[in-house]
Amino acid sequence: MKLESYWLDTAPPFTGAAQGQVPVRADVVVVGGGFTGLSAALALARRGASVVLLEAGRIAGEASGRNGGQCNTGLAHDYADLCARIGEPQARSFYQAYDAAVDTVERLIREENIDCDFQRCGKLKLAAKPEHYAKLQRVYEQLRASVDPGIELVPPEQLASEVGSSGFYGGLLQRQGAQMHMGKFAVGLGEAAVRAGAQLYQDAPVDDIVRIAGGFRVRSARGPVDAAQVFLATGNSSLGPFAYFRRRLVSVGSFIIATAPLDKEQLDRIAPGRRNYVTTKNIGNYFRITPDQRLLFGGRARFALSNPKSDAKSGAILADTMIRLFPQLQGTPIDYCWGGLVDMTADRLPRAGQHEGMFYSLGYSGHGVQMSVHMGQQMAEVMAGRGDCNPWRGLEWPAIPGYFGKAWFLPLVGAYYKLQDRLH
């Protein structure tokens, strides 16, 4: 079993990285080489800007290359609860932004001819308890009437045609959801940005950003570069001068295993629809089939950060859960086990805008695959003066009280959600 991301291990090499020191000047410096930064670099370079992207490690080496491989529509919220909190018009616009984000991913793949096994497969939310299905019914009725007329309810008696497990009690199908190979997509997106003229530097952590006449000076391991604009696409980076964001983003571990390749008969029993699957528990699971016929199975598993020891412990929990849901996989080897960090905001809504003159887009809260790509494109428009292209504009973003970057409260949060899952 490899303790590394399946997506990164099976991706082709990225050969477009710039070498040596950064140039003295650029129009824009993008900090962060995940999907947000790569998408922004591509969009900005297409507009004719000279772009330098600085990535502390490997392109897409963190959250963008360590996720569950799902590219879904839908918010990280109960839609009815969100409507009650912020009003239906704004909730609807946020939902539509996620729909648009999946379209953006598909458009870029088509325009840049990126070979990443993209397909529209739909997302099936699975009721983990009978009472959860009743809640899905209410969500279905509101979404269908308000914002998603194509949404479908899968009753318990029809669920066997969608998933081969007796552990679920119906589901909610959103057909716009998609999937792709995250590592292949990252490499293709990076190569597209380079073709457009952007310079992408790996192993270039940023240690300081200061204001200068006409813009900013960004200092990194590759040297200093002056730019009129800076775009921060760092996630909740523990490195660099980003304390403002570290007080507002909480990193939560998410863990994933991938089986050895399965035969078609096994796959047809487990996932006949080959969809993206998520469960309704607070500490739930998500799974899908990979392009080379593995079952990829993930979830929170433990409220802990990712490191090799933590990943292995979490992988054992995930393997037990997988077998409970799919007993037919008993004895199937696990080839990969890895973890990553999900950057959460307090209300689980992304944040994008400006801070101290620098643009940023962060905090996707577990729904970042599609929204990160979309926001890279949208923020390029914002940086050109079109502020209305930011769907998250106007959201307040106070610091989390008593939090300075170390999430001491995560075990308490985990205990609370476990209790909720037992009670509801």
Per-residue model confidence as pLDDT tens for the chain (424 residues) = 999 999 999 999 999 999 999 999 999 999 999 999 999 999 999 999 999 999 999 999 999 999 999 999 877 677 888 888 999 999 999 999 999 999 999 999 999 999 999 999 999 999 999 999 999 999 999 999 999 999 999 999 999 999 999 999 999 999 999 999 999 999 999 999 999 999 999 999 999 999 999 999 999 999 999 999 999 999 989 889 999 999 999 998 899 999 999 999 999 999 999 999 999 987 789 999 999 999 999 997 666 777 888 889 999 999 999 999 999 999 999 999 999 888 999 999 999 999 999 999 999 998 899 999 999 999 999 999 999 999 999 999 999 998 888 777 666 666 655 666 676 6
Query: Residues 6 or more apart from 380 whose CB is under 8 A from it?
Result: 40, 43, 44, 47
Cα separation of 378 and 372, whole Å? 10
Q: Which two three-digit tokens encode residue 344? A: 């959460």
pTM of the shown model: 0.95
pLDDT of residue 182: 98
- Helix, strand, coil: what percent of the chain each, to 5? 35, 25, 40
Query: Residues 6 or more apart from 185 whose CB is under 8 A from it?
Result: 35, 105, 109, 114, 116, 118
Cα separation of 204 and 221, whole Å? 5
pLDDT of residue 74: 76
Query: Residues 6 or more apart from 362 whose CB is under 8 A from it?
Result: 36, 232, 233, 234, 235, 236, 245, 249, 343, 350, 351, 352
Cα separation of 14 and 217, whole Å? 27
Q: Which two three-digit tokens encode residue 251? A: 């990193």
Cα separation of 173 and 216, whole Å? 47
- Which run of H or E residues covers position 2? none
CATH superfamily, domain 6-411, is: FAD/NAD(P)-binding domain (3.50.50.60)
In the chain, the N- to C-terminal Cα span, in Å, equals 35
**Closest residue by Cα to residue 340 from 37, 54, 66:** 66
Q: Which residue in the block uniquely carries the two structure tokens 């300081």?
A: 208
